A and B are shown apart, each in its own frame.
Chain A
Amino acid sequence: MRNAWLSTHLKAVRPRVLAALNRVFGDIDLAEDAFQEASLRALKSWRQDDLPQDPAAWLIVAGRNAGIDAIRKKRLETSAVPEDLETTFDGAHPEEDLTRALDQAAFRDDILRLLFTVCHPVLRREQQIALALKVVAGLTVEEIARAFLVQPKTMEQRITRAKKRLQAARLPYEEPDASARGQRVAAVANAVYLIFNEGYSASQGPALIRETLCEEAIRLARLLVRLFPEEPELRGLLALCLIQHSRRTARLSADGEAITLEDQDRSLWDRKLIAEGHILLEAALRSGRPGPLQVEAAIAATHTQAASFEETDWAELDRLYRALELIRPSPVVTLNRAAVRAKIDGPLAALSHLEQLSNTLDGYAALHAMKGALLAELERAEEARQSYRKSFDLAGTDVERNHILQLLSRLPHSTRN
């Protein structure tokens, strides 16, 4: 039991400490080992009623020394330790000096750099997610493997390959200027949203494990908002995650079937998270620097303001999707906007709009599902059936396929004529 509070402390300070160690050593592997060693030292010397004044600083000093020891051992016969890597761990409270010396601005940049590194574009998406969860959030390989339904060994290899790739890319160590920092913030915000989405939209695996991904993403987003309150996109990110997460119990049925927004029991939505999301979004929008995540959060917020699906403010959603089409166009956005337009213009107009889109979006399951729904609304059951079938063939997950099967079963049986 004694270790429970300690592991919470270690988890809480991990991003900050690891970020600082990554700056010291310029190597994620070495930083992770050093953090591990520092944690062991903390386990030996921390007492619950007598914690170091600044646990993060304590661990940075201990980790730095542990890392230097490790480098020493490796280079024993060849060369001396560079002078700037001398051990500084000697007093009873070694962190005090460091705390004074630590520039908070550097701290912030350290964390941003670490996140930016593990989410670097040279990595594939699933590598980015795995590395962020492992290195920054501190999940074990087993936990991440479970979330992705792969063997721990496979996940281990994926993470090792990702690290090698980073090393091979030889990312330069740079102090970011304002515009570079802005780009990093945007990239990191996107990556954290990817983690959230992986948990949110994914369809396989036990719900609880998936929820871990959402919660870790929210934890990272909260940390980022605390560090960079002046970045509206980060508040937008957190608002978006919280509002989506508020629907977690409403969007899956007891047997794991997806329930669309239209059919969700809105009384199950977590109003506390929604309230926090709304205020974060309002604060973000004040800055007058909108970004895609703020717009997406506004879309999610608009849905939460409707007491029922029928009362949704479609005109507002159309405006927001149009904004999103401008700042971050994607087939999904276009399709979502088409769905909103269908509510405004009616099924017939929407259908002809979809025909125009089908040149470019023919390979999307969602396009055909939408077509099917519109045709069903127009009571053209046979054509609806064809569209649903096409959507079924293109769908990527079981939850999607089950959902389409449900829609198919709701169609009236074909009339022979």
Chain B
Amino acid sequence: MLFSVLIYASEDFIDALPPEEYQEILKKHGSFHEHTKSNRSFGAGVKLMSTGTSVTVKREDDDFVVTDGPFAETKEQFMGLYLIDCATLDEAIEAVKFLPLDHGRIEIRPVDYFEGADFRNAERVVINAS
């Protein structure tokens, strides 16, 4: 089954991290990559830009309205997600244990529908914002 791993964290907190600690976080993501790639469960990884870059599109009366940012003043922001292809929820949980769990929140949610590249067989592409 395909699972999404949804990552939430406080952007204020991430911004305040000293570089060494940020490196620690990246290292844990590295271990997650290693684990899920070696057992071929890795599907996709998406890291989002800061919430400051986003806009919200709404429909008002007969018009589209684009407002700036998410105005949600939540303490945590949605930072990104992984897709992992695991036989059981247990397996997904084991994989997520590699991720940094000391702050923020990580949620595992099964995927109901997926359409995209055949990541089991396809060449991996990496798209970096630039």
Contact = CB atoms under 8 A, between A and B. Distances in A.
Contacts, number: 81
Interface residues of B, number: 29
B129 A229 contact: no
A276 B50 CA distance: 8
Interface in B47-102: 49-55, 66-71, 73, 75, 102
Nearest to A48: B102
Interface string A226-253: 1001101001001000000000000000
Given A235-B52, A276-B50, A276-B129, A229 B103 contact: no
A404 to B, nearest CB: 34
- Majority SS at the chain A contact face: helix
B17 A8 contact: yes
Contacts of B34: none
B118 interface: no
Nearest to A235: B52
A12 B10 contact: yes
Contacts of A219: 15-16
Interface in A323-354: none
B52 A275 contact: no
Contact of A226 (B11, B49, B103, B130): B11
Interface string B22-61: 0000000000000000000000000001111111000000
B53 A279 contact: yes
B17 A230 contact: no
Interface stretch (A115-123, A194-202, A280-288): A280-288
A283 B130 contact: no
- Majority SS at the chain B contact face: loop
A304 to B, nearest CB: 10
Given A230-B69, A275-B129, A238 B52 contact: yes
B130 A275 contact: yes
A124 interface: no
B119 interface: no
Contacts of B10: 12
Given A229-B68, A230-B68, A238-B52, A271 B16 contact: no
A274 B130 contact: yes
A5 B101 CA distance: 13
Contacts of A271: 128-130
Residue with the highest number of chain A CB atoms closer than 10 Å, among B16, B69, B75, B129: B16
B102 A5 contact: yes
B49 A279 contact: yes
A272 interface: yes
A225 to B, nearest CB: 4
A226 B13 CA distance: 13
Contacts of A9: 13, 16
Contact of A8 (B16, B54, B55, B129): B16
Interface residues of A, number: 33
Contacts of B50: 222, 225-226, 276
Nearest to A269: B130
A12 B130 contact: no
Interface in A4-31: 4-5, 8-9, 11-13, 16
Residue with the highest number of chain B CB atoms closer than 10 Å, among A16, A54, A226, A279: A226
A225 B52 contact: yes
B18 interface: yes
A361 interface: no
Interface string A105-129: 0010000000000000000000000
B16 A226 contact: no
Nearest to A273: B130
Interface of A: 4-5, 8-9, 11-13, 16, 48, 54, 56, 104, 107, 219, 222-223, 225-226, 229-230, 232, 235, 238, 271-272, 274-276, 279-280, 283, 286-287
Given A12-B16, A274-B130, A275-B129, 16 more contacts: A5-B102, A5-B103, A8-B13, A11-B16, A48-B102, A219-B16, A225-B52, A226-B12, A229-B51, A229-B54, A229-B71, A230-B69, A232-B68, A271-B130, A272-B129, A276-B49
Of all A-B residue pairs in the complex, the 10 with the closest CB atoms, nearest first, are: A229-B69, A271-B130, A225-B52, A12-B16, A275-B129, A11-B16, A229-B68, A12-B12, A12-B13, A104-B73
19 contacts: A5-B102, A8-B13, A9-B16, A12-B12, A56-B75, A107-B73, A223-B12, A225-B52, A226-B52, A226-B69, A229-B54, A230-B67, A230-B68, A271-B128, A275-B129, A276-B53, A283-B54, A283-B55, A286-B66
